[in-house]
Amino acid sequence: MRSAFSGKIVQLVAALLVLLVNFVTSQDPDIVKTCTSYKKSVWEETSEFSFLIENAPIIYKTLDKCTSYAPLIIGGGPALPKEFPHAARLGHREDDGEIEWFCGGTLISNLHVLTAAHCLYSPQGSVNIVRLGDLEFDTSTDDADPEDFTVKDFTLHPGYSHPAIYNDIAVVRLSKTVTFNEYKHPACLPFDDGRSVPSFIAIGWGQLEIVPRTENKKLQKVKLYNYNTRCRFTADKNDELPEGYNATTQLCIGSNEHKDTCNGDSGGPVLIYHKDYPCMYHVMGITSVGVACDTPDLPAMYTRVHFYLDWIKQQLAKT
């Protein structure tokens, strides 16, 4: 019996090692490399010097300034300056210059913003403007570097069919490249699917409360939790979810407190910290649809970004 039991232990350990190897190797090397390059381009400064001796070799020294601007998020509240440099706001600008903002997004390259497909069906009009680098709208006294970009085009996932919110993901392409700095640079794409992630950070300029309807001009952050497959039981089938919750393509995220995303947050990201780079985040989900805004223990559904990596990479390859 002892020999058989020991054999089972060996088999179990071997299986766990295989799973670990598969997890490590499942990380897309292109995404890992790109994430590192973004970090280096913004946060690392290389200088050269040499001793004042003839033919002395040049010595290069790199200063890494990649540190976190904020402590770990507990609860929620206003975002700090430079805390979320990938945060984007999407809107429609009329011919007279008047802009109505209605969705969020995430900068994922120097030309592309990730958002929800349903944001491109807004009654306010098509998305034709994106603002990056802002913190509080309609003020110039905050520590921000807002810049508006016109939209060249956008692509909805081919599996999206309005009004259902499956495959609720789209990529907006900007008309000019973004110059990266501490106020504006991309979030990294996911290294894994987020199933084992215990909590996320959601950000957006959406309403702070569903009733009364309150306009919000400050970027907000909130810590939310992974409810795994709970949404299978809390989400009724309707026009938006004709087949109910899909755990393969959606994340189920919420809180047991009055903490939530709300109207106006659609398209914005749910994030986790990069394990090695405290100045960087991964965009794990896209705010998609809520069951009831600001209701404790009633999680909402977010598009699972990792599932769509191949499609996203195809969009990034377009110039």
Distance of CA 284 to the CA centre of its chain: 6
Q: What residues are paired with 63 via a beta bridge?
A: 45
Identified catalytic residue from 266, 282, 288, 306: 266
Euclidean distance between CA atoms 168 and 230, whole angstroms: 19
* 288 is a catalytic site residue: no
Using only the alpha carbons of the chain, give its radius of gyration. 22
Residue given tokens 């947050």 in the structure block: 265
Helix (H) or strand (E) holding 13: helix 2-26
Q: How far is CA 122 from CA 161, 261, 280, 301, in A?
A: 14, 18, 31, 19
Residues in the chain, overall count: 319
Hey, how many other C-beta atoms are within 10 angstroms of the C-beta on 174?
Answer: 22
Half-sphere exposure of 66 (CA within 13 A, CB side): 22
* 236 is a catalytic site residue: no
57-77 burial by CB neighbour count: b if 16+ within 10 A, else e? Answer: eeeeeeeeeeeeeeeebeebe
Identified catalytic residue from 92, 112, 118, 306: 118
* 266 is a catalytic site residue: yes
Contact 168, 160 (CB under 8 A): yes
250-277 burial by CB neighbour count: b if 16+ within 10 A, else e? Answer: bbbbbbeeebbbbebbbbbbbbbebeeb
Identified catalytic residue from 109, 134, 157, 168: 168
Q: At 210, which amino acid appears?
A: I
Q: At 31, which amino acid appears?
A: I
228, exposed or middle or buried, with CB in 10 Å at 0-12, 13-18, 19+? middle
Task: Just list the catalytic residues.
Answer: 118, 168, 266
